[in-house]
Amino acid sequence: MARVKKLVLDILIPRELHIIELSMAIASVSGVEEVKATVQEVDERTSTLKVEVTGNGISYEKIYNTISHHGASLRSVDEVVIAG
């Protein structure tokens, strides 16, 4: 069965949400082994992050729900790696 091994996400977060808090929340999702987050842009109210999520059997739905739960917005999925 095919499994998601890597996602590269473009995420918009409110300035009140710290990059570490969101990264740790994503890392706690089952199937996630590593999270790498980089700030791409900052303005008065928001920051844009590039987030690389790697693991074995990553659940896109759980990642999406975690991002939304923290008040952030998933802008795009920029890369996906699937293994069969």
Tell me the two tokens of residue 79: 């890369």
- CA dist 25 → 49, 62, 77 (Å): 15, 11, 18
Q: 12-47 pLDDT, tens per residue?
A: 999 999 999 999 999 999 999 999 999 999 999 999
Domains present along the chain, CATH in parentheses: 3-83 (3.30.70.1340)
Q: Which pTM was predicted?
A: 0.95
**Does residue 51 have a pLDDT over 90?**
yes
Q: 58-83 pLDDT, tens per residue?
A: 999 999 999 999 999 999 999 999 99
